[in-house]
Structure 1
Amino acid sequence: MITRLTLVNFKAFRRLELPLGPLTLLTGLNSSGKSSVLQALALLRQSFGPDRSTAHADGSFLLNGDLIEMGTARDVLHDDFGPADDLLTSDAPAVGFVVEADESSQFIARYDLEQPDEDVMEADLHVFVPRWLHLPFQYLHADRITPAVTYPRSRQIAIDRGFLGARGEHTVNYLRHNAEQEVPEGPLRHSGATSPQLLDQTVAWMQELCPGVNLQADAIEGTDFVRLSYGFGGTAGINATRRRRPTNVGFGLTYALPIVVACLTATPESLILLENPEAHLHPKGQSRMAALLSAAAATGAQLIVETHSDHVLNGVRIAVKQAVLQPEDTVVHYFQGNGAGTEVVTPRIDKDGMLQQWPEGFFDEWENSLDQLLD
């Protein structure tokens, strides 16, 4: 498990040292640097992980790939870059990361002043590839799959690699192939599901977001596509046998599906990066999504989650109070701009789910609005 991440001259940060836990929430204003934390880890996985083509595994930072597309070296170097003397012996511009897990590892790439628009950055040293880069991994962008008639069927990605796709585009095929895989007994297994199998467990958790919903994933014969359909259990006068296309159901369920599957298939050593898991969900659904995230972390997986939702925060606080997670298992970072950059404040959650610090601007808009209404 990664316990600390340091960014040097990377995007919004000249230097940032960030402790991480089994469940880490990244909160704060837009464009304050939260996504840069996820992108840093995704960049390392993309550049040095097991899925990079051996033909291009030359020890360089691969800025554009199937996880992230960051542009060019010019785009990732911090505008006011400084010397990275603890990483390099020279003052040459460089981007660097220090990842502390079972052991500390450094990743450094020089910025080539003559080729700032290249989308690879040559590593300064031979990079030792740590164990965490080869463990089960998922990264789901905020821009996830939208309701569609069909989704891709790729054995190499969804089945051989077990990857849902950065947008979750391979989730339906993964679910189709692994429908009978059992969710291990523990916090993730939903007690209301009809069986411990992945499809039934997925349905049970999806019903936390939309009561009565069920889903079906099928291959379309003679094509390279799969189909997702929803049913609604005969509620609200809808025929239970009638299947509905995602395009006729709305965004929330399809947007949430990759998150649910990623959590349910997490192993005790998984690293899961999530952007805005609450997107398109109503408040109760956001709270239940937090319960799912907490359950995944309680199984031993590590989740790093960017969120703008106070319902997700409160859901995690409830999980701590209910002892699903221990206080030390949760880390909350609040990114706030100070006019000259970004400051990170880290409120602590105690065993009762209470926050020991509540910085100004940290999920306080409800109270601000209420004050104006009562004024």
Structure 2
Amino acid sequence: MITRLTLVNFKAFRRLELTLGPLTLLTGLNSSGKSSVLQSLGLLRQSFEDTELPRADQGLLLNGELVELGSARDVLHDDFGPADELEDLGVTDTPAVAVVVEADGEPFSFVGRYDAEQPDEDVMETLVYPTLPLFVREPFQYLHADRITPAVTYPRSRRIAIDRGFLGVRGEHTVNYLRHFGEREIPDGPLRHARASSPQLRDQTVAWMQELCPGVNLQADPIEGTDSVRLSYGFGGTAGINATRRRRPTNVGFGLTYALPIVVACLTATPESLILLENPEAHLHPKGQSRMAALISAAAATGAQLVVETHSDHVLNGVRIAVKRGNLQADDALVHFFRGNGSGAEVISPRMDKDGMLAQWPEGFFDEWENSLDQLLD
């Protein structure tokens, strides 16, 4: 598990040191650096996932399946400068970015050299330790805020969904994954929904989706003679997948289809998993956002690690409720609030106690409801 992440000269940060836990919520204003944290981890994964040993000539791959960061010019912080992390690795005479990951008690440093003569290159020469952290090869999901929208068909790729078990950054391979692995059982524990008709992934997915939309059920079918699969919804109160009248996603709305990859990613989490989520609350009503937080907390309680970017106070409160109910340990839920300070971004980290209470509530931290109420009552 990753316990600490340090970014040096990376995008919005001259230097950022961030503690990570089983469940880490990243909150704050837009363009304050939250996404950069997720992107840095995605960058390492796409650069070294397929290698046994890191090679300096392989480099940091700025554009790939997981993240598209542009060129080295886009990644290097505007006010870049030296740092202890760089000097310790002997990098003192060239501009560079660094991502330092502390995992299982050991630091791993990835340094990308900035070549001023080729600032528009999308590969940065790297200097790293001779071994790679396990997280670049362990089960992994990264779901962007821009996820799949309701459609008639979705791709059917054996290599991505079945061989790699990857849902795609937009969740585009979720339907095929569910079609193939639907009979797998969810282990007994926090993730297994008590009201599901069986412990199988298909029925567990339906049960959690019913938390977002009561009575819904879903079905994933291959389309013969094509490389596509079809998703359909039914409504009838059953906890199974059978229904007499099926509805295509385009006639149901955004919320269910947008949430489906998040649900499947959480349900299939293992103690070795690293899951990065952007805005899991998107297109969900407040109750659905709270229940989504319960699912995310349950995934963390199984031993998986989740880093979640959110703008929702309902997600925050859902995690706080999970802590208060004892479904997640307080020390396992970390909250980081990002806000601009004029020259970059600063991070405030309110501590959560066992009752779900936060030690501090800084200005701008989910206080708009109170601000609006004050204006209404004025």
Q: Assess, with a 3 A threshold, how the Cα gap between structure 1 residues 108 and 195 changes in structure 2: closer, same or farther.
A: same
Aligned to 1:118: 121
TM-score when normalising by structure 2: 0.95
Aligned to 1:60: 59
Q: CA RMSD in A?
A: 1.7
> Where does the alignment leave 5 or more consecutive residues of structure 2 unmatched?
none
The number of aligned residues is: 370
Q: Which amino acid aligns with 1:92?
A: T
Q: Assess, with a 3 A threshold, how the Cα gap between structure 1 residues 245 and 57 changes in structure 2: closer, same or farther.
A: farther
SS at match of 2:165: coil
Q: 1:132 Cα shift? A: 1.9
User: For the residues of structure 2 that align with 1:371 and 1:272, how far apart are their CA atoms?
Assistant: 38
Q: Do structure 1's residue 278 and structure 2's residue 281 form an aligned pair?
A: yes
Q: 1:87 Cα shift? A: 2.0
**Mapped contact 1:149–1:247 kept (Cα < 8 A):** yes
Q: 1:210 Cα shift? A: 0.2
**Mapped contact 1:109–1:124 kept (Cα < 8 A):** yes
Q: Assess, with a 3 A threshold, how the Cα gap between structure 1 residues 234 and 286 changes in structure 2: closer, same or farther.
A: closer
User: For the residues of structure 1 that align with 2:169 and 2:311, how far apart are their CA atoms?
Assistant: 20
How many percent of aligned residue pairs carry the same amino acid?
81
Q: 1:340 Cα shift? A: 1.9
Alignment of 1:86-97 (within 5 A): 86-88=85-87, 89=90, 90-97=92-99
TM-score when normalising by structure 1: 0.96
**Mapped contact 1:83–1:91 kept (Cα < 8 A):** no
Equivalent of residue 243 in structure 1, options 243, 246, 250:
246
SS at match of 1:318: helix
User: For the residues of structure 1 that align with 2:141 and 2:181, how far apart are their CA atoms?
Assistant: 16
Q: 1:129 Cα shift? A: 1.1
Q: Assess, with a 3 A threshold, how the Cα gap between structure 1 residues 57 and 230 changes in structure 2: closer, same or farther.
A: farther
Moved over 6 A (4+): none
Q: Which amino acid aligns with 2:118?
A: Q
User: For the residues of structure 1 that align with 2:21 and 2:147, how far apart are their CA atoms?
Assistant: 25
User: For the residues of structure 1 that align with 2:81 and 2:334, how far apart are their CA atoms?
Assistant: 28
**Mapped contact 1:106–1:127 kept (Cα < 8 A):** no
**Mapped contact 1:26–1:306 kept (Cα < 8 A):** yes
Q: 1:108 Cα shift? A: 0.5
Q: 1:58 Cα shift? A: 4.1
User: For the residues of structure 2 that align with 1:144 and 1:53, how far apart are their CA atoms?
Assistant: 31
User: For the residues of structure 2 that align with 1:345 and 1:224, how far apart are their CA atoms?
Assistant: 47
Q: Which amino acid aligns with 2:290?
A: S
**Mapped contact 1:48–1:57 kept (Cα < 8 A):** no
**Mapped contact 1:84–1:91 kept (Cα < 8 A):** no
Aligned to 1:38: 38
Aligned to 2:269: 266
User: For the residues of structure 2 that align with 1:240 and 1:366, how far apart are their CA atoms?
Assistant: 41
Q: Which amino acid aligns with 1:29?
A: L
Aligned to 1:366: 369
Alignment of 1:1-375 (within 5 A): 1-50=1-50, 58-88=57-87, 89=90, 90-102=92-104, 103-125=106-128, 127-233=130-236, 240-375=243-378
Deviations 1:66-94 (A, max 9, x none): 11111111111101101134324213100
**Mapped contact 2:56–2:126 kept (Cα < 8 A):** no
**Mapped contact 2:281–2:315 kept (Cα < 8 A):** yes
**Mapped contact 1:142–1:277 kept (Cα < 8 A):** yes
SS at match of 2:320: helix
**Mapped contact 1:278–1:289 kept (Cα < 8 A):** yes
Q: 1:207 Cα shift? A: 0.2
Q: Assess, with a 3 A threshold, how the Cα gap between structure 1 residues 125 and 316 changes in structure 2: closer, same or farther.
A: closer
> Where does the alignment leave 5 or more consecutive residues of structure 1 unmatched?
none
